[in-house]
Amino acid sequence: MAQRVSVTVIMKKLINDPDDVVDEMLDGMTAAYPDRLRRLPDTQVVVRDDAPVEGKVALVTGGGSGHEPTHAGYVGDGMLDGAAAGDVFSSPTADEFEALIDACDAGDGVLAIIKNYEGDVMNFETAIELAEMEGVEVESVVVNDDVAVEDSLYTSGRRGVCGTILVHKAAGAKAAQGADLSEVTRVAEKVIDNVGTMGTALTSCVTPEKGEPTFDLGDDEIELGIGIHGEPGTERTEMMSADEITDALTEAVLDDLDLDPGQEVLTVVNGMGGTPQMELFVVNRRLQELLGEHDLETWDAWVGDYMTSLDMMGASITVCAVDDELKELLGAPADTPALTTK
Amino acid sequence: MTGDGAAVVDAVEAVAERIEDERAHLTELDSAIGDADHGGNMARGWAAAAEAARDLDDPDPQTVCKTVGKTLMAEVGGASGPLFGGSLVFASAELDDGIDAESAVAFAETYLEKVEDRGDARVGDQTVVDALTPAVHTFKKSVETDELPPLEALAKAVDAAERGVAFTVPIRAKKGRASYLGWRSVGHQDPGATSALYILEELLAVAADALDAEIPDVDATSPTIPDEAAEDDSAAAEDD
| Residue A43 predicted with pLDDT over 80 | yes
Kindly state whether A244 is in contact with chain B, defined as any CB-CB distance less than 8 angstroms: no
| Residue A181 predicted with pLDDT over 90 | yes
pLDDT at A231: 83
Residues of B in contact with A19 (CB under 8 A): none
Kindly state whether A156 is in contact with chain B, defined as any CB-CB distance less than 8 angstroms: yes
Sorting pLDDT into bands at 50, 70 and 90, what band is B36? confident
| Residue B137 predicted with pLDDT over 90 | yes
Nearest CA in chain A to B117: A122
Q: How far apart are CA A224 and CA A240, in angstroms?
A: 11
pLDDT at B229: 45
pLDDT at A215: 86
pLDDT digits (tens, 9 = 90+) for A66-100: 999 999 999 999 999 999 999 999 999 999 999 99
Sorting pLDDT into bands at 50, 70 and 90, what band is B239? very low
Residues of B in contact with A85 (CB under 8 A): none
Q: How far apart are CA A309 and CA A271, in angstroms?
A: 9
Which region among A117-131, B157-171, B223-237 has the lowest average model confidence (pLDDT)?
A: B223-237
Q: Spell out where A160-202 has E strands.
A: 195-201
How crowded is the C-beta side of A240, counted as CA atoms within 13 Å? 18
Determine the residue among A97, A100, A122, A231 to mutate to test chain B binding: the one whose Cβ has the most chain B Cβ atoms within 10 Å: A122
CATH class of B5-238: mainly alpha
Domains of chain A: 21-189 (3.40.50.10440), 195-341 (3.30.1180.20)
pLDDT at B237: 43
Give me the mean pLDDT over the A190-209 stretch.
95
CA neighbor of B189 nearest in space, from B224, B226, B161: B161
Give me the mean pLDDT over the A148-174 stretch.
90
Percent above pLDDT 70 for chain B: 90
Residue A86 C-alpha, separation from nearest chain B C-alpha, in angstroms: 9
Residues of B in contact with A91 (CB under 8 A): 77-78
Percent above pLDDT 90 for chain B: 78
| Residue B65 predicted with pLDDT over 90 | yes
Residues of B in contact with A63 (CB under 8 A): none
C-beta neighbour count of B145 within 10 angstroms: 11
Nearest CA in chain B to A94: B73
Sign of the CA dihedral running A147, A151, A152, A153: positive
Alpha helices, DSSP H only, in chain A?
21-32, 94-104, 118-133, 163-176, 181-194, 242-257, 277-293, 324-330
- Between chains, do A125 and B85 touch, taking CB under 8 Å as contact? no
Which region among B30-39, B162-171, B219-228 has the lowest average model confidence (pLDDT)?
A: B219-228
Catalytic residue numbers of A read 67, 229
Give me the mean pLDDT over the B30-56 stretch.
92
CA neighbor of B113 nearest in space, from B92, B135, B91: B91
Q: How far apart are CA B237 and CA B122, in angstroms?
A: 29
| Residue B180 predicted with pLDDT over 80 | no
Q: How far apart are CA A112 and CA A184, in angstroms?
A: 11
Kindly state whether A123 is in contact with chain B, defined as any CB-CB distance less than 8 angstroms: yes
Strand A314-321 versus strand A264-271 pairing type: antiparallel
